[in-house]
Chains A and B, each alone.
Chain A
Amino acid sequence: MLTFTIRRLLLSIPTLLFISLIIFLLLQLAPGDPMAQVPLTVPPEVKQKMREALGLGEPIYVQYYKWLIQFFWIEPQVAFDYFFGTEFSEGKQRVISWQWRGPVMDVVVQRLPQTFWVVGMAYVVGVLISIPVGIYSAYRQYSVFDQSGTFITMIGFSVPPFFTGPLLGIIFAVQLGWVPLLYDTTHVVEDWASFKVQFQQMILPVMVLALQTTAQISRYMRASVLDNLNQDYVRTARSKGLSEAVVVMVHVVRNSMIPVITVIALGIPAIFGGAIITEVVFGVSGIGDMFIRALLSNDLPTVQTLAFIFAILIVLFNLIADVLYGVLDPRIRYD
């Protein structure tokens, strides 16, 4: 198990390097120019100077090498310094955004909480709803509950968030005025009233995102439980005289969770991507929103860094999913 984990960890290094190269090369092809936002009144010589100040002129491999060093060597040092008060990174060049001329990572760190709150909460809510729904629909296959559950999850599956988002926004924020239209990132929860405000502003984005999660996971759960309900060991459990509740909730669910847990783990990075739309629609200033804006203003270092952070998340959660699989299923032995 340990060898397996270490092996996978080490394998992920070339994978990540390769991904970073792909992302980097892709971005280098960009025809856009970070200067496009500068007003037309600014003369070309000035623009040229600004461009040079951004380090645009250097050869590709130098830029890539610099970026690698900055991302893999200097940024971790900064994090280390932050936590332990050391000064390893003192005076070293970090990954700098072309938009705000400051370290990209600082802003990423600033924004991650928003994303985690909304996206994470949506995921948790989605998982908490979907698992019981999945179990019950499988247990009562083709019952009214199952049929309607299937229908609702199908809808959740099919209706895109960029449709539900604005629609719900208009209904609940503009027409009814129950919730704010825009997410306030500065809001601090300190008492009941402010908690209520926080709840109100989170509910729409969370529900829109959770709808998708619920739909997907409950379908997986249903299929998985159905698969297991037909297994021989369930019959054995019943022949012992166990009650249905124990048979289903202990024997079946435990087995059904194995594939579903990995689906859940694998889904986490995907929803960061999916959150881009939700964040844009509801004005949540998370990393998805950051990504879109960086892309629109040709802020290549930020785009690069964020794309790469997404890649790291995916690789990481893939690894977690694999390891979890081994932990949950005694039959899997990695050596």
Chain B
Amino acid sequence: DGHEGERGRDGEVRIIYWQAPSILNPYLSGGTKDIESSSLVIEPLGRYDPDGNPVPFLAQEIPTVGNGGVSEDLTSITWKLKEGLKWSDGTPVTSADVKFTAEYCMDPEGGCAQGAKFDGVTSVEALDDLTIKVTFDQPKPNPYGPFMGGQSPIIQAAQFADCMGARAPECTDANFGPIGTGPFVVTDFKPNDVITMVANENYREAGKPAFASVTFKGGGSAEASGRAVMETGEFDYAWNLQLAPDVIAKMAEGGKGVPVSAFGALVERLEMNLTNPSPDLPPETRATVAEPHPILSDGRVRKALSIAIDRELLVEVGYGDAGRPTCNLVPAPAIYASDNTECLTQDLDGARALLDEAGWTDTDGDGIRDKDGMKLSLLYQTSTNAVRQDFQALIKQSWSEIGVETELRNLDGSVFFGGDPGSPDTFQKFYADVEMYANVFDGTDPQAYLAAYRCGNEPKPDSQWQGENINRFCDPEYDALIDKLATTGDLEERGKIARKMNDMLTKESNTIVPLVDRGRVSGHAVTLGGVRLNVFDSELWNVADWYRKGE
């Protein structure tokens, strides 16, 4: 079949994203759809492969302490570009472009969406035409923030020179059609609708890409895009089919396409509020560490709630092949994943026993446990989303069997995740007892992710309710581990520390109750070859290798 051959031999490939890309500059938009669509055109120095391992793209190799690319003190990293790289307009790619990219995103007025990638960067220097050195303000065991992964690709200095800072949004032409090094070149961009591209004549690998053109359609629904690939064959690739497993399975019977799935570290979890969200409290102390939670402060209750849940059933109903039950906050990559399986089997009796032990008993016979005149009743909130509401219903059902009453609440995603300090309904404010959402860390290193649960990092009125320690978790021992991790360069050792931290949050304290390790399901036509679904980087990371299978 068509593995090898000249560039553009396979004609057109049609990709559908039900969330339509609105811009091709990932520095101006954090949306996955935008980052992934732009990855056809612009590339970073290195990417992560489906297993989470770094692979060089524009760089000759991935710098490490071992090969000398990363300084011993972990405060600088030096990248070397491949030789002879050309932009799609034929001009050479130089270290100046890389340096420019950093300046572009680090401009304080630009509102760069990927600013986090450049956290702690003090300088980016072009040592020569091909060498770039990035220096950090402190040791960075994981220095692969800038220029690594789909979020921080290299843009052409010449094209974006006039687009610095506040002027960034004005460069519509550049934002809609960046000149890149990727396999394809934009010919037409219609925001929120369609992108058409043709193969990049100056792409560095001969014979790639196999396709001469791409039609990148945005819009419709996950369902329609699934049908369009697997049932009607109108498209070759459909992104992120967030559909119930039975629906996907049924679509696959159409025979025109197949679903593919892969797992990363995206974990759907329950967060237990360790502080009291009661509306009777004054706003200064409500849901702050000053007021411990009257029910959930007791670890036994949290554990009971955790083991009462039938995670297998949740997966079966909500995700099918696209999910697996997990008890870990960090389920991947392998070296960071703890072998924590205790919660996987539902144990209602155990849960009941735990609650009895904690003093929660049903004294008035209404089926709901109580203690000191207080009912074991919880407010459980999440964002509005079909699967989440199914989960809420199922979990409510399970908890009712152990005598816990649950009130469900779902909030509009834009409000729940919006972070508006004025709104009582953000996930940071946590004006509820339990909340559910999914989160993941960038790339493959969980350091920052785990560091979020530091004492004092919780959202509170002083910090305008910003902060990542949603549960208001506080354990000095845990904080010590955070510091240790930040200075440890050895991978083995890092894994050990991270697993310990993971266990402290989950297994030991049940502060975080992981439910499902959510994979991603996408679909591609049976005739499309070369697809390797990647959850650590853009799904389209290897589009240059895609080809049409002969029938």
Contact = CB atoms under 8 A, between A and B. Distances in A.
B441 to A, nearest CB: 7
A110 B190 contact: yes
A44 B420 contact: no
Interface string A57-100: 00000000000000000000000000000000000000011011
A39 B194 CA distance: 23
B215 interface: yes
Contacts of B437: 40
Interface residues of B, number: 65
A47 B30 CA distance: 10
A8 interface: no
Given A101-B168, A103-B172, A46 B116 contact: yes
A42 B113 contact: yes
Interface stretch (A172-180, A210-218, A227-235): A172-180
A290 B166 CA distance: 26
Interface in B95-126: 108-113, 115-116, 119
Contacts of B294: none
Nearest to A279: B219
B87 interface: no
A250 B415 CA distance: 60
Interface string A158-181: 000000000000000110010011
B232 A186 contact: no
A42 B419 CA distance: 12
- Give chain B's interface secondary structure class: loop
Contact of A100 (B111, B175, B215, B415): B175
A29 to B, nearest CB: 12
Contacts of A32: 412, 414-415, 418
Contact of B219 (A41, A54, A283): A283
A43 interface: yes
Contact of A54 (B22, B111, B416, B449): B111
Given A38-B30, A101-B28, A181 B227 contact: yes
Contacts of B191: 97, 99-100, 102, 107, 110
Tier of interface size on chain A: 35 or more
Contacts of B119: 43
Interface in A16-42: 31-33, 35-42
Given A35-B419, A102-B169, A182 B196 contact: no
A182 B109 CA distance: 40
B28 A185 contact: no
Contacts of A49: 108, 110-112, 115
A96 B166 CA distance: 13
Contact of B193 (A31, A45, A102, A185): A185
A329 interface: no
A293 interface: yes
A181 B115 contact: no
Given A39-B30, A53-B166, A106 B419 contact: no
A251 interface: no
A137 interface: no
B227 A174 contact: yes
B270 interface: no
Contacts of B111: 49-54
A33 B232 contact: no
A41 to B, nearest CB: 5
A154 B442 CA distance: 56
A100 B192 contact: yes
Contacts of A42: 30, 113, 115-116
Contacts of A101: 23, 25, 28-29, 168-169, 172, 175
Contacts of A180: 232, 234
B217 interface: yes
B176 A285 contact: no
Interface of A: 31-33, 35-47, 49-54, 96-97, 99-103, 106-107, 110-111, 173-174, 177, 180-182, 184-186, 283, 285, 289-290, 293, 296-298
6 contacts: A33-B418, A46-B115, A100-B22, A101-B25, A106-B172, A283-B220
Sorted nearest first, the 7 A-B pairs with minimum C-beta distance are A53-B111, A33-B418, A38-B30, A101-B169, A32-B414, A44-B466, A100-B22
Given A31-B418, A97-B191, A293-B192, 20 more contacts: A31-B415, A32-B418, A33-B414, A38-B30, A42-B30, A44-B419, A49-B115, A50-B111, A53-B166, A54-B111, A96-B169, A99-B191, A100-B29, A174-B231, A181-B228, A181-B231, A181-B234, A186-B196, A289-B219, A293-B219
